[in-house]
Amino acid sequence: MKVKGVVTGLGVAGGANDGSLKRIGVRNSDGASMKLVRDVDVTSDKIIRSAADLAINGAPPMFAEPIHVGRPNIGDHKRFLQRASNILDSGWLSNNGPIAQEFEQRIASFLGVKHCVAMCNGTIALEIATRALELKGEVIVPSYTFIATAHALQWQEITPIFADIDPATHNLDPAAVWRMITPRTTGIIGVHLWGRASPVKELEAIAREHNLRLMFDASHGFGCSLNGELLGGFGECEVFSFHATKVFNTFEGGAVVTNNDTLAEKMRLMRNFGFSGYDNVIYPGTNGKMSEIAAAMGLTNLEDLDDFVAINRRNYQCYRDAIASIPGLSMLEYDESERNNYQYVVVEVAPYFPIARDRIVEILHAENVLARKYFWPGCHNMEPYRSYYPHAELVLPNTKRVSDRVVVLPTGSALQGDAIRGIVSILGVLASGKV
Ligand SMILES: Cc1ncc(COP(=O)(O)O)c(C=O)c1O
């Protein structure tokens, strides 16, 4: 298979650009060609017919440069640089500047919520949100999530209690949440994993019945909906990460969004040391502010979000079509009646697939396809939780099963169909079991 395409990314130097590279054909609403990131040559003449063609067996890798799962989506360079130049001219670099304020307004109006409190990253946003909600004692979270969901609690000496997930959705199983409630429980943090909504209604019912606070880690869910409503307005507040690897990034960044005026006001104080004006601190706080340059990146990328999602969707469909014919591999589905960002291409490896999940990842890495075992081995298997709860696995069977089976494949504005079909051809050879 001739694998040829444009891969965009962080400081990756490809071969000579001989003009044979195809630029991803996306256009902005104003019709201007969208320069996502600089071109990198990932052409490959490699054809995988059998195990002998695999890099792990000594053949050259399929791609000359590593292809990462979370390559940044970067919007229109010109518009970003114009904003950056305006910031430098203004001399207002941080401290709730005009760009950060505009960013908050745009995000709130895009998500249909009253308040967006922009922050320096998603982890600090989680910490501030949980503190503003006065969570303490124990808070129920999934173990099958990025470690920051648990650490944001532990950092404040709140105990994360891990509840199991539904193996079909990878999100919290409400029955498991219910089982983990104790007299010390004060709240629940649902995670909209892979951008697919948590069981919001069921968690709301549990929270109501047990008088618990409910919030969501929506780090994966920017631009995704539940019953046609964009994630952001559920629970008492929702937290987004705008990290460079997310579908929508501000280099580093995050936000808490809420419809609660008092909560928003409290979080604004908390993210700015508790200052309510010059020389007047009225609350304990930290430094969670978003810089002007981060907000400028956010405004630019928000304008290009539709393009990013369209590319992800095209890639997702291309993977799905190619993987459909490989027995033992299945792709996590997105509900097509909802809005999705298709940021994650999640493949589950069935127990009968002849090659073990970890070996598949090794084989892909040898081809320079840096697939990931997200979120293996589960937060409960990482410190300090592993030491605190050595037997947690007993109540987390689905977390173990899913985290042992998942492989996340690269997508984003980096990839095109030929490269994707090349990646899937590697998996196709593995299905024969002869490696
Ligand atoms: C589910 C989840 N929660 C929290 C975070 C933390 O966000 P940040 O990296 O912006 O601090 C991330 C990602 O990084 C995440 O994937």
Q: What are the extents of the domains in the chain?
A: 51-73+305-371+410-430, 77-303
Cis peptide before 199 (omega within 30 of 0): no
Greater confidence (10 vs 255) lies with 255
Q: Which atom of ligand 1 is nearest to the CA of 193?
A: 1
**DSSP for 309-363, written as a single string:** HHHHHHHHHHHHHHHTTSTTEEEPP--TTS------EEEEE-TTSSS-HHHHHHH
**What's the gap in Å between 219 CA and the centre of ligand 1?**
6
339 lines ligand 1 (CB under 6 A): no
The per-residue pLDDT for 71 is 84
d(CA 108, CA 116): 5
Asked if pLDDT for residue 11 goes beyond 80, the answer is no
Residue 247 neighbours by CB distance under 10 Å: 28
Residue with CA closest to ligand 1 atom 10: 122
Rounded to two decimals, what is the model's pTM?
A: 0.91
Q: Which atom of ligand 1 is nearest to the CA of 252?
A: 10
> For the purposes of burial, counting CB atoms within 10 Å of the CB of 38, is it exposed (0-12), middle (13-18) or buried (19 or more)?
middle
d(CA 339, CA 5): 27
312 lines ligand 1 (CB under 6 A): no
Indicate the SS3 state at residue 273. coil
d(CA 120, CA 238): 16
Residue 49 neighbours by CB distance under 10 Å: 9
DSSP class of 22: P
Q: List the single range of 22-31, 169-178, 372-381 with lowest mean pLDDT.
A: 22-31
**Tokens in use for 140?**
């129920």
pLDDT (average), residues 127-146:
98
DSSP class of 172: B
Is the separation of the CB atoms in 357 and 404 below 8 Å?
A: yes
Residue 206 neighbours by CB distance under 10 Å: 19
Cis peptide before 377 (omega within 30 of 0): yes
The per-residue pLDDT for 15 is 26
Specify the long-range contacts of residues 261-264, CB closer than 8 Å, at least 24 apart: 261/114, 261/115, 263/132, 263/133, 263/236, 263/237, 264/114, 264/115, 264/117
Q: Return the CATH architecture of domain 77-303.
A: 3-Layer(aba) Sandwich (3.40)
Asked if pLDDT for residue 13 goes beyond 80, the answer is no
pLDDT (average), residues 47-68:
93
The per-residue pLDDT for 42 is 52
Asked if pLDDT for residue 1 goes beyond 60, the answer is no
DSSP H or E segment with residue 308: helix 305-323
241 lines ligand 1 (CB under 6 A): yes
d(CA 241, CA 209): 30
273: left (phi over 0), alpha (psi -120 to 50) or beta: left
d(CA 96, CA 118): 9
422: amino acid identity, one letter: G
91: amino acid identity, one letter: G
With the most atoms of ligand 1 within 8 angstroms of its CB, the residue from 121, 130, 146 to mutate is 146
**What's the gap in Å between 398 CA and the centre of ligand 1?**
22
Q: What is the pLDDT of residues 246-289, one digit of tens each?
A: 999 999 999 999 999 999 999 999 999 999 999 999 999 999 99
Q: What is the pLDDT of residues 26-40, one digit of tens each?
A: 333 333 333 444 444
Q: Is the alpha carbon torsion for 374, 405, 159, 265 positive or negative?
A: positive
Q: What is the pLDDT of residues 178-221, one digit of tens each?
A: 999 999 999 999 999 999 999 999 999 999 999 999 999 999 99
Greater confidence (340 vs 49) lies with 340
Say which residues have a Cβ less than 8 Å from residue 147's Cβ, sequence separation at least 6: 379, 382
Class of domain 51-73+305-371+410-430: alpha beta
The per-residue pLDDT for 413 is 77
The per-residue pLDDT for 323 is 97
The per-residue pLDDT for 416 is 83
Q: Where are the alpha helices (DSSP H) in 230-304?
A: 261-270, 292-303
Kindly report the CA angle at 95 between 92 and 97, in degrees rounded to 5? Answer: 50
121 lines ligand 1 (CB under 6 A): yes
> What is the rounded average pLDDT for all residues in the chain?
90
| Beta-sheet strands, E only, within 113-165 | 115-119, 138-142, 159-163
Give 41's pLDDT tier (boundaries 50, 70, 90).
Answer: very low
Q: Rounded to 5 degrees, what are φ and ψ at 352?
A: -85, -5
